[in-house]
Amino acid sequence: MDKKLERILPLVQKPARYTGGEYGEIQKDKSEVDLRMALCFPDTYEIGMSNTGMRILYQVLNDLPGVWCERVFAPWFDMDRQMREKGLPLYALESGDPLSEFDAIGFSLGYEMAYTTVLEMLDLAGIPLRSAERTSLTPLVFAGGSVCCNSEPMADFFDLMIIGEGESVDGEVLQLLREAKAAGWSKAEFLRRAALIGGVYVPSLYTPEYNGDGTLKAMHAAPGAPERITKRIVTDFENSCFPVDAIVPSTEIVHDRVGLELFRGCIRGCRFCQAGHIYRPVRSRSVEKCMEYGKESLAFSGYHEITLLSLSTSDYRGLNELCDGLMDYCESRGIGLSLPSLRADNFSMDIMQRVQKVRKSGLTFAPEAGTQRLRDVINKNITEDAVINTAKTAFSGGNTSVKLYFMLGLPTETFDDVAGIGNLAQKVVDTFYSLPERPKGKGVTVSVSCSAFVPKPFTPFQWEPQDDIETIRAKQKHLVESARSRKIRLSWSDPETSFLEAVLARGDRRVCAVIYEAFKLGCKFDSWGEYFHFDVWMKAFENCGVDPKFYANRRREYTEVLPWSHIDIGIPEGYFMNESIKAKTGATTQNCREKCNGCGANRLLGRACD
């Protein structure tokens, strides 16, 4: 261990975040590898180590011959300060080597509010922030993750960005980098060739042109660069990597359990949901493979809980069979089984009894809107009766609390729709007290969590404006007035954070300067409420002459060129437009298993969706 690090660790909170050496960590002999990769997560160790994508990529990249992939997380404020004072640059956990010594530095980006933390990590490593300032071939700085579907707000900082699922393309990028190092290519030559790899976007090869009103006119590709970048996906999900021998953290993390990924994609088509569209087509693992991976992961890690992961777990075709098979293994060992992402329209006593054999866990459902009219607008496709019946099932099974997720500010939402949230929560409370078989001597708690709607790229609502901050606050106030029972607990997201998220989600390349300015003014860890400084961000927008409301609160025309129009996620814009038009009339769309709606994503798979 570095002597500077030894002196620092007693001075900071949770020093185990910074030491490495965990069970399952991959160590390699540096003399036997010819390419070193730093896999970076722009948040704390506890959050990054809970990320399923990080665990998969760590395994996939370390399985490549001649490659050593190591982990890097953002140090907390106290550690950051000590590292700067003692002159200790950001380092990787496995070797302790500085980030600047690596050939490739890849960031996992799943949330727009992590952007300034990316810059903080590069700065702490002593690496120039802008791609144009890094003239040598290495270190190559790139990114992947869901937010890369609109790469423009971070285009100035990354040499390239991965569109789609990283495990399907990262290896090709690293192999090309190995060839470039051996042949002595310039960085420019490498990037020109990398742009020809499917799913790779090289921002420096594309130049935006703007109209007089500030909207985007066109995105011009350099000669030889593709006009559109098509996302990459894992086509054989059944046999894709699942790290059964994943690292077991030495300190508690957010999701301290085995996370078993059942399938990718979603059949539902909720019109606000970006993940449900960008992760299409639906691809599933068999029950047999899931049971094999689950049991092996539990045996290796020693965890006493396993969670079944997907965008909508109760839509997994073999869920009952899988739960039965896992419970045969788990029950005798005192291992709990939990199912997040359940839907109110297909939750049953059967499922609940299966997953609560070992221990009861909280039940969470997402009606999303308080009235049927608005649920039809967003294509949620669940009824009030389904929510009430689900509550009955939960309460009859011995539960005395449920959590309901909603959004405020959805397109076409009225104050009557907001009041509907309180009304629906009250009906759930009343349902509890109407049941003769309810748990005696206990009260009920209905937790209502409301986040502000953020219009995201590649959704039918990508053209919609976000409610301004004042309107969201008025709706929050109206919600409080509409939910008078003390059995209902209300919480909501900060509208200022949601406003900035909308700006960063739908921004163009001019937002890069604002992100850089906000970083210089001290912004980082913006997803942590106590460290989010809205006034500082507004100062950054002012200093750069950029109006944030132009991105968050403006309705876009269907004819407008969007900052992500040159990205192809497999679903044509016409599909989103048609869904947007249907939303305005309250017309719903069936889920994919009831009827194929022709979104087109299965062309990336070369066969029908699972």
In DSSP notation, 464-503 reads SPPPPHHHHHHHHHHHHHH---TTEEEEE--HHHHHHHHH
- The answer to whether the CB of 509 falls within 8 A of the CB of 152 is yes
pLDDT at 569 over 80: yes
Cβ neighbourhood burial of 47 (10 Å; 0-12, 13-18, 19+): buried
Mean pLDDT of the chain: 94
Q: What are 453-470's pLDDT values in tens digits?
A: 999 999 999 999 999 999
Backbone angles phi, psi at 567, to 5 degrees: -105, 135
SS (H, E, C) 296-356: HHHHHHCCCEEEEECCCHHHCCCHHHHHHHHHHHHHHHCCEEECCCCCCCCCCHHHHHHHC
DSSP 222: P
Q: How far is residue 575's CA from residue 170's CA, in Å, rounded to a whole number?
A: 29
Q: Pick the residue with more confidence: 340 or 403? A: 403
CA neighbor of 177 nearest in space, from 160, 163, 153, 156 = 160
Q: What is the DSSP code string of 528-591?
A: SGGG--HHHHHHHHHHHT--THHHHS-PPPTTSBPTTTTEE-SS-HHHHHHHHHHHHHT-----
Residue 1 has pLDDT above 80, yes or no: no
pLDDT above 60: residue 407: yes
DSSP state of 141: E
Residue 259's closest CA among 270, 275, 248, 273?
248
Note whether 323 and 294 are within 8 A (CB). no
Query: CA-CA distance, 398 to 106, in Å (whole number)?
Result: 46
128-138: average pLDDT: 98
Each residue of 262-299: b (16+ CB within 10 Å) or e? bbbbbbbbbbbbbbbbbbbbbbbbebebbbebbbebbe
Query: What residue type is assigned to position 521 of the chain?
Result: L
Collapsed DSSP state (helix, strand, coil) of residue 406: strand
Instruction: Give the rounded percent of residues in the chain with a pLDDT score beyond 90.
Output: 88
Which residue, chain included where needed, has tokens 């309810």? 438
Instruction: Give the model's confidence band at 558: pLDDT under 50 very low, under 70 low, under 90 confident, else very high.
Output: very high
Residue with the bigger pLDDT between 347 and 523: it is: 523
Give the per-residue pLDDT at 553.
98
Per-residue confidence band for 269, with pLDDT thresholds at 50, 70 and 90: very high
Q: How confident is the model at residue 243 (pLDDT cuts 50, 70, 90)?
A: very high
8 Å CB contact between 450 and 483: no
User: Confidence class of residue 314 from pLDDT cuts 50, 70 and 90?
Assistant: confident
pLDDT value of residue 359? 61
What's the average model confidence in pLDDT over 586-596?
Answer: 94
Instruction: Please tell me the predicted confidence (pLDDT) of residue 442.
Output: 82
pTM to 2 decimal places: 0.95
pLDDT tens-digit readout, 162-171: 999 999 999 9
On whether the CB atoms of residues 608 and 602 are closer than 8 A, the answer is yes
Helix (H) and strand (E) counts for the chain? 20, 19
Burial 80-97 (b: 16+ CB within 10 A, else e): bebbeeeebbbbbbbbeb
Task: Tell me: pLDDT of 351 over 90.
Answer: no
Residue 610: the pLDDT is: 86
H-assigned helices in 356-414: 372-377, 384-396
User: Alpha-carbon distance 584 to 200, whole Å?
Assistant: 35
Q: Check pLDDT > 90 for residue 229.
A: yes
In the predicted model, what is the mean pLDDT of residues 502-511? 98
Q: 139 preceded by cis ω (within 30°)?
A: yes
Angle at 552 between CA 546 and CA 555, to 5 degrees: 110
Residue 519 pLDDT exceeds 60? yes
Judge whether residue 341 has pLDDT over 70.
no
Picking from 26, 8, 180, 113, the residue whose alpha carbon sits closest to that of residue 533 is: 113
- End-to-end C-alpha distance for the chain, whole angstroms: 49
Give me the pLDDT at residue 357, please. Answer: 60
Residue 473: name the closest of 493, 446, 449, 503 by CA: 493
Amino acid, res. 466: Q
The Cα-based distances of 141 to 39, 99, 119, 191, 503 in angstroms read 10, 11, 11, 11, 24
Q: Give how far Cα 547 sits from Cα of 464, 498, 511, 523, 524, Å.
A: 17, 16, 10, 19, 21
The reported pLDDT for the residue numbered 259 is 96
Residue 286 has pLDDT above 60, yes or no: yes
pLDDT over threshold 70, residue 356: no
Over residues 392-416, mean pLDDT = 92
Q: Look up residue 266 and give its amino acid.
A: C
- Position with higher pLDDT, 20 vs 364: 20
Confidence label for 338 from pLDDT (cuts 50, 70 and 90): confident
* Tokens at 225, concatenated: 């660069």
The residue-averaged pLDDT of 566-593 equals: 96
pLDDT digits (tens, 9 = 90+) for 578-588: 999 999 999 99
**Phi, psi for residue 54 in degrees, rounded to 5:** -60, -45
Grouping H, G, I as helix, E, B as strand and the rest as coil, residue 364 is: strand
On the question of pLDDT at 349 being above 70, the answer is: no
Q: Give the lowest-confidence range in 108-122, 230-244, 387-401.
A: 387-401
Per-residue pLDDT band at 173 (split at 50, 70, 90): very high
Residue 396: pLDDT band (50, 70, 90) is confident
Listing DSSP states for 425-473 in one string gives HHHHHHHHHH-TTSPTT---EEEEEEEEP---TTSTTTTSPPPPHHHHH
Question: How many residues are recorded in the chain?
Answer: 610
For residue 393, the model assigns a pLDDT of: 87
